[in-house]
Amino acid sequence: MSVILHLSDTHFGTEQPPVMAALLQLAQEIRPDIAILSGDVTQRARAAQFDSARSFLDQLAASVKLVIPGNHDIPLFNIFARIFNPYGNYRRVFGQVLAPQFSNQDVQVIGVNTTRPWRHADGEVSRQQIESVSQKLQSASPNQLRIVVVHQPVYVERESDKENLLHGHQKAIAAWAAAGADLILSGHIHLAYIRNLQEKFQDVTRPFWIVSAGTAVSKRVREKKPNSVNLIRYDSALRSCIVERMDFDAASSRFIIAENKLLKLS
């Protein structure tokens, strides 16, 4: 059994200490094999905010940690940095790789950098990125859980969120489903949901799930939804996947199970 902790949109600079403490406690209790942070690590891409994020992640009890940038991780007001060194602070803290990957006998994780310095909030996935991810997916072993991580969503529930959809998402969904992807992890809109893309897109002919995370520790919650993260439990022998959405409960100062879903995999 492999356990993956999926968090997103920490927005350091707007973090809440009680929620951070609860998340560290959850990780200490669960001891996930992998922690994945799907972008918007910081609120304004400032050096001190990245330092706070790194300090927090260093305390997070997970054997492997993968982080991709979000649109907030590129300077907004520092125009010079946005043009000439958009990932400077990110790379100083997390290294040069903007699209980290990980693979073991149970899990394949492929990060995709969907940010673009010339866009404000929108994300984009290029044809080259789609093809590169597809090739990697096709190299996975039959028993691996195949995960693609993006920041902006490839599917949204609400009409008002359609402007947040990843540019190129339809081509990406079709290609990655055909290449064998099981899950897409995303964030950006601070709303948590789990949906089977086979039921939403005609080009998808096999189970293929989007798992969206809310904001993990930031005060920037939406629709009065609590802070949330996802726990993904995968049994490679059965190719069985359970996703638990964990919401922060202010009364107990803990993350508790709010949704438990068994995902059908191909």
CATH number of the domain that residue 246 is part of: 3.60.21.10
CA 217 to chain centre: 14
For residue 244, report the phi and psi dihedrals to the nearest 5 degrees: -110, 120
Q: What is the mean pLDDT of the chain?
A: 96
- For the cut 80, the answer to whether the pLDDT of residue 191 exceeds it is yes
Q: Quick one: pLDDT at residue 58?
A: 98
> Quick one: pLDDT band at residue 82, thresholds 50, 70, 90?
confident
Q: Quick one: pLDDT at residue 62?
A: 96
> Quick one: pLDDT band at residue 110, thresholds 50, 70, 90?
very high
- For the cut 90, the answer to whether the pLDDT of residue 119 exceeds it is no
Q: Quick one: pLDDT at residue 7?
A: 98
Of 35-39, 182-186, 220-224, 247-251, which gets the smallest average pLDDT?
220-224
The stretch 112-137 carries a mean pLDDT of 96
**Contacting residues for 192 by C-beta, under 8 A, at least 6 apart:** 212, 213, 214, 225, 228, 230, 245, 259
Residue at 209: amino acid letter: W
pLDDT digits (tens, 9 = 90+) for 26-42: 999 999 999 999 999 99
Residue 7: both structure tokens together: 């968090």
pLDDT digits (tens, 9 = 90+) for 163-186: 999 999 999 999 999 999 999 999
Domain hosting 183: range is: 2-263
How far apart, in whole angstroms, are the C-alpha atoms of residue 72 and residue 132? 25
How far apart, in whole angstroms, are the C-alpha atoms of residue 151 and residue 70? 6
- For the cut 90, the answer to whether the pLDDT of residue 208 exceeds it is yes
How far apart, in whole angstroms, are the C-alpha atoms of residue 36 and residue 236? 19
Q: Quick one: pLDDT at residue 266?
A: 74
What are the C-alpha distances in Å from 3 to residues 44, 153, 174, 208?
31, 23, 27, 19
Residue among 76, 69, 175, 61 nearest 119 (CA): 76
Number of domains observed in the structure of the chain:
1
pLDDT digits (tens, 9 = 90+) for 90-100: 999 999 999 99
Q: Quick one: pLDDT at residue 14?
A: 98
The stretch 220-248 carries a mean pLDDT of 96
